[in-house]
Structure 1
Amino acid sequence: MSEKNRDGKRTARERLAAEREKQKAAERRRRGLIVGASVVCVLGLAAVIGVVAANAGKDDGGDNAGPVVAPSGANGEDSLVIPVGESGARSTLTVWEDFRCPACKSFESTYRSTIHELTDAGQLKVEYRLATIIDGNMGGSGSRTAANAAACAQDAGKFVEYHDVLFAEQPPETDDAFARTDKLIELAGKVDGLDTPAFRTCVEDGTHGAWVDKSAQAFNKGGFSGTPTVLLNGQNIYRDQTMTPAKLKQQVQEAAKG
């Protein structure tokens, strides 16, 4: 074999060896990238879990929500019910509502006068229970802040009147106006005798905020599909497509006759 051929074969072997070394180096880099990406993914997942856990704490009122202070006259399990009407009435209407909820406003607009008529006649007692689902769905804190203000109105013996004002003056669902305590105090001016220093302090300090959180938790645990949830003697009448104010009145009056 000539010297020229031997040099050619040696050069080819060297090129092949160099190419193999390049491939090994590329493989090592690829493995390093995979490991690095895996670490990033794990850290990212941990961060997401941390955020979810933090938000879950916020939804439940957190550990810093303060003491649970029920409004005056609240009753039921954990004192989460605001009662209206004669306690001896034969029919009980349980109403879960959110002051930011448009469907709740629609229900109130349709049934309010009938409910007032039946409670005034001593034929119906109403158990108002407060939820804050719009805060969770849309963001903000208006549901919670308005519910606290309503509880403050209950302390003053003005719950029904203020409850009706809040729904009559309800802002658009995307407008978190009820998060502003000055707005809630302004609306209290529409209820005779409600805008007092005691009411203002209760609203501004969020006196019943932890109680509202507990009520919201009870709603979530109740398995309800949304607000309003309206139960007549335990039966969900809001889902009854045939229900009307006249039909509700008839059922309550028949029950009152025994």
Structure 2
Amino acid sequence: MSEKNRDGKRNARERLAVEREKQKSAEKRRRALIVGASVLCVLGLAAVIGVVAANAGKEKNSASSGPVVAPSGAQGKDGLAIPVGKDDAKSTLTVWEDFRCPACQVFETAYRPTLHELADAGKLRIEYHLVTLIDGNLGGSGSRRAANAAACAQDAGKFREYHDMLYTNQPKETDDAFSSDARLIELAGKVDGLDTPEFQKCVKDGTHNSWVAKSDKAFASGGFTGTPTVLLNGKNIYQDQSLTPAKLKQMVEAADKG
């Protein structure tokens, strides 16, 4: 073998090794981000009782008063789950999430393409449960108002599109921007066909506020430790640090094949 060929092969191996190290570093950064963000959302459970008590009053009463109005098509126990995907899918992913939670946004960013692909292929049904953990932790009403707006979008048949729009435009955790009806309606304008008089009224009236409060109560009584809580066919899978979108896809496709 010529010296030139040996040098070429050695250089190729070196480039491959460098690329592998880059991929490992990127994966470590991604996992660190997920773990770090998850800690922020878990902290809410420790403080929620004291903070909610301290902030009891008009805002709290407006969140829980009135009849419980579930959004159109809500399913599951007490009608607290917003379904995405086909009912006959062999796998069900249950997601408890808060639109103000940064860890939820990290999960959505990393897993959204895979979830869309599997749901559209009829292999996965997703049940979204909306909670208000960050409102309880930091005060404000953005978690609840965004959840109500998402339920209003479900009434209009635009839940997934608006759900994704909220996470794409999620403010910093300490910025209660989603407490503004005007902001929520502005984002609805970015979803084709959603910004209608009916949607606006639903948002402004807080039509589903009591439903959101009931969902949040179910989260607290369920013994969950933070958001996002992600269950595949009843098993908590997001706690597994080895979980990746590719691994989730493999699990769902294996179940689909029986």
TM range (shorter): 0.7 to 0.9
SS in 1 for 2:129: strand
SS in 1 for 2:212: helix
2:113 is aligned with 1:139: no
Go from structure 1 to structure 2 and tell me whether the alpha carbon gap of 1:63 and 1:189 turns closer, same or farther (over 3 Å shift).
closer
Go from structure 1 to structure 2 and tell me whether the alpha carbon gap of 1:184 and 1:93 turns closer, same or farther (over 3 Å shift).
same
Go from structure 1 to structure 2 and tell me whether the alpha carbon gap of 1:149 and 1:64 turns closer, same or farther (over 3 Å shift).
closer
Question: Rg larger in 1 or in 2?
Answer: 1
Deviation per CA, 1:27-83: give whole Å up to 9, x if none: xxxxxxxxxxxxxxxxxxxxxxxx986856889757961110000000111100001
Q: Which runs of 5+ in 1 are unaligned?
A: 1-50
Aligned length: 208
**Aligned twin of 1:92:** 92
Q: Structure 1-normalised TM-score?
A: 0.77
Q: Structure 2-normalised TM-score?
A: 0.77
Tell me if the contact between 1:75 and 1:83 (Cα under 8 Å) persists in the aligned partners.
yes
Tell me if the contact between 1:60 and 1:217 (Cα under 8 Å) persists in the aligned partners.
no
Counterpart-to-counterpart distance in 2, 1:121 and 1:114: 11
2:137 is aligned with 1:121: no
Counterpart-to-counterpart distance in 1, 2:83 and 2:136: 26
Counterpart-to-counterpart distance in 1, 2:238 and 2:84: 19
Go from structure 1 to structure 2 and tell me whether the alpha carbon gap of 1:52 and 1:144 turns closer, same or farther (over 3 Å shift).
closer
Tell me if the contact between 2:177 and 2:183 (Cα under 8 Å) persists in the aligned partners.
yes
**Aligned twin of 1:104:** 104
Counterpart-to-counterpart distance in 1, 2:147 and 2:57: 20
Question: Counterpart amino acid of 1:88?
Answer: D
Counterpart-to-counterpart distance in 2, 1:135 and 1:240: 27
Counterpart-to-counterpart distance in 1, 2:126 and 2:53: 36
Q: Which runs of 5+ in 2 are unaligned?
A: 1-50
**Aligned twin of 1:191:** 191
Go from structure 1 to structure 2 and tell me whether the alpha carbon gap of 1:150 and 1:52 turns closer, same or farther (over 3 Å shift).
closer
2:83 is aligned with 1:65: no
TM-superposed CA distance for 1:177, in Å, is 0.4
Question: Counterpart amino acid of 2:143?
Answer: S
Deviation per CA, 1:149-181: give whole Å up to 9, x if none: 000000000000000000000000000000000
Go from structure 1 to structure 2 and tell me whether the alpha carbon gap of 1:240 and 1:256 turns closer, same or farther (over 3 Å shift).
same
**Aligned twin of 1:241:** 241
**Aligned twin of 1:24:** none
**Aligned twin of 1:253:** 253
Tell me if the contact between 1:60 and 1:213 (Cα under 8 Å) persists in the aligned partners.
no
Identity in percent? 71
Tell me if the contact between 2:64 and 2:209 (Cα under 8 Å) persists in the aligned partners.
no
1:24-39 map, 5 Å = none
Question: Counterpart amino acid of 1:74?
Answer: A
TM-superposed CA distance for 1:200, in Å, is 0.2
Deviation per CA, 1:114-164: give whole Å up to 9, x if none: 000000000000000001000000110000000000000000000000000
Counterpart-to-counterpart distance in 2, 1:242 and 1:64: 39
Go from structure 1 to structure 2 and tell me whether the alpha carbon gap of 1:238 and 1:67 turns closer, same or farther (over 3 Å shift).
same
**Aligned twin of 1:14:** none
Go from structure 1 to structure 2 and tell me whether the alpha carbon gap of 1:257 and 1:208 turns closer, same or farther (over 3 Å shift).
same
Query: What RMSD over aligned residues (CA atoms) do the two structures have, in Å?
Result: 1.9
Tell me if the contact between 2:90 and 2:123 (Cα under 8 Å) persists in the aligned partners.
yes
**Aligned twin of 2:207:** 207
